[in-house]
Amino acid sequence: MTVDFFARHQAVLEEAVRAAASRAYWTPFPESPSPRNYGETANEEGRRAFEAVLGTDFPLDLPGATRMPGDEASPFGLDLNVAYPRLSPEQAVGAAARALAEWRRAGPQTWVGVSLEILHRLNRASFELAYAVQHTSGQGFMMAFQAGGPHAQDRGLEAVAYAWKEMAGIPQQARWEKPQGKQEPLRMEKQYTIVPRGVALVIGCSTFPTWNSYPGLFASLATGNTVIVKPHPTAILPLAITVRIAREVLAEAGVDPDVVQLAVHAVGDDTAQVLATHPEVRIVDFTGGKANGEWVEQHARQAQVYTEKSGVNAVIVDSADDVKAVARNLAFSLTLYSGQMCTAPQNIYVPRDGIRTARGHVGFDEVAGEIAAALENLTADAAKAPELLGAIQSPATEARIEAAEELGLPVLAQSRPLVHSQFPKARIRTPLLLRAEAGHPAIQREWFGPVAFVVATDSTAHSIALAGAGARTHGALTLSAYTTDQAVAQAVRETAEQAGVSLSLNLTGGIFVNQSAAFSDFHGTGANPAANAALCDTAFVASRFRVVQTRWHV
């Protein structure tokens, strides 16, 4: 049975390995929710599956679990009222440790085959996942479908592909013959066994519960570790569905389903800390805020720790052919999911003397005004805007808008509440755009959510220096620059390489700086404080397993 899973998906696996090596466009999971891709009934079935669990006990059998009413409230205004089975940290780690010996012995083909089958079934459940992601994260439906479904599955598959490539590169056995001059050579037989590190923990976040969890989940699972998935207490459902599907596949493979477990907990308790520092937990994948991520990095000393935290993403505007095209692209990046993407720009550096464009010099105020106008334009249609904006995931993020307004900085675009036609209680706000001087302390910290600054600098050189220092000090997942000058582009690139941040140049078309494509774009670099790992590269998988060799004379 387990060999079947590997054989069933081997062709896709090999394509995935090739795609990651070439970094050209590739995906086996269509991003369009079109019935042509997913069937005529998929959307309706997914919605019904989502609605069926509202107000009920989520159907997941975790032996020994107690019942915990969830704290999930949709940012669109729905109370989910789902109850989940709850394991104590000791129960979860104990079961994960017990499941480990059998899973270890199953070997790489089974680990990878099971992982691929889970991804395949997650893809078929993309609509159910989309509704669950929408009503926990607040993402608009299309984004919830794409980022929560196929794009997340891509990132999981990418991790499996890297894991497989590394494991397949280690021979199962070798004959070693050392010449001994005129005597017979010394001959040894050696066997190399891939062993997992142990119990792995995945700590999910509230804004991208699947996209940000799948790389770690699948990287650990595909390398033979048993995995405890700890969702954010306000975004449990998408990961509960994921774990339910994983356990179904494990059971079909004849393996203890406790290889993958869910560990829900109440807001504000210490479950994450207890799990992350448990002596049996040997791998932690964390996505979330800076303070919690740094806590894990500092305290989970017994584990390999992979973090994606947050940062202050910058845009450098030096010169452009068409300032309106720049503004449209930036406005979209600021609007998309209300700036709640870890890749969304925050500080837009523009020289206070203005910039060069194809139609001549354009002053700072005009550049800032164009961005503000593009923002207003994008969000003007109150019926359509919420799909792009999504809803604000947490009241804390909404409160941050008010805190930004209280900075007293000149307002370029106001944050307006919008009313969603379908979900009148949805927490929807347009982005707040402020003008700041380069020295203002507010731009030196992260304003997670729909808050951005157009920052007046002394010059492009000053902009570059600020962007570089910001990435080095506070971390950054993206850097964007607009310039028609090759020397400036080269200087920005040099700074990006020094600061370890990925650079997008002159995006004015259908690609936005916050977007990152699996198999092609490395998400994060691991080279600045925003993240200590990149999704996905060899470093992300290579330490999740070890090799134990046995040798003897022949």
- Applying CB under 8 A, which of residues 12, 49, 195, 411 lies at the interface with a copy of itself? 195
In the complex, least distance from residue 164 CB atom to a copy of itself, rounded to whole angstroms? 13
Q: Let me know if 358 is exposed, middle or buried by CB neighbors in 10 A (0-12, 13-18, 19+).
A: exposed
Query: Which string of DSSP letters, residue by residue, matches 72-91?
Result: -B-TTS-B---EEEE--HHH
Query: Which string of DSSP letters, residue by residue, matches 511-546?
Result: --TT---TTTS-B--SSBTTBSS-BT-HHHHHTSEE
Total of residues contacting a copy of itself (CB under 8 A): 65
* Token pair recorded at residue 246: 């994983």
Considering the complex, state which of residue 326 and residue 436 has its C-beta at the smaller distance from a copy of itself. Answer: 326
- Applying CB under 8 A, which of residues 197, 278, 290, 309 lies at the interface with a copy of itself? 197
Q: Confirm if 176 and 199 have CB atoms less than 8 A apart.
A: no
d(CA 73, CA 386): 18
- Applying CB under 8 A, which of residues 158, 256, 297, 308 lies at the interface with a copy of itself? 297
Considering the complex, state which of residue 48 and residue 187 has its C-beta at the smaller distance from a copy of itself. Answer: 187
Q: Which residue has the tokens 């936005």?
A: 512
DSSP class of residue 69 equals E
522 contacts a copy of itself (rule: CB under 8 A): yes
- Applying CB under 8 A, which of residues 8, 23, 67, 361 lies at the interface with a copy of itself? 23
In the complex, least distance from residue 116 CB atom to a copy of itself, rounded to whole angstroms? 22
Q: Let me know if 309 is exposed, middle or buried by CB neighbors in 10 A (0-12, 13-18, 19+).
A: buried
Tally Cβ neighbours within 10 Å of residue 134.
Answer: 26
* Token pair recorded at residue 502: 């990925």
174 contacts a copy of itself (rule: CB under 8 A): yes
- Applying CB under 8 A, which of residues 354, 525, 530, 535 lies at the interface with a copy of itself? 525
Binding mask 74-113 for a copy of itself (x = CB under 8 A): ---------------------------x--x---------
Q: Confirm if 26 and 46 have CB atoms less than 8 A apart.
A: no
22 contacts a copy of itself (rule: CB under 8 A): yes
In the complex, least distance from residue 301 CB atom to a copy of itself, rounded to whole angstroms? 6
**Nearest CA-CA partner of 386 in 76, 99, 169, 89:** 76
Binding mask 482-521 for a copy of itself (x = CB under 8 A): -----------x--xxx-xxxxxxxxxxxx-----x--xx
Considering the complex, state which of residue 2 and residue 525 has its C-beta at the smaller distance from a copy of itself. Answer: 525
DSSP class of residue 409 equals P
439-448 in b/e form (b: 16+ CB < 10 A) is eeebbeebbb
In the complex, least distance from residue 190 CB atom to a copy of itself, rounded to whole angstroms? 7
In the complex, least distance from residue 14 CB atom to a copy of itself, rounded to whole angstroms? 16
Considering the complex, state which of residue 158 and residue 166 has its C-beta at the smaller distance from a copy of itself. Answer: 166
User: Which residue ranges make up the site for a copy of itself (CB under 8 A)?
Assistant: 21-25, 101, 104, 166, 169-171, 174-180, 186, 188, 190, 192-193, 195, 197, 297-298, 301, 493, 496-498, 500-511, 517, 520-522, 525-527, 534, 537-539, 542-543, 546-553
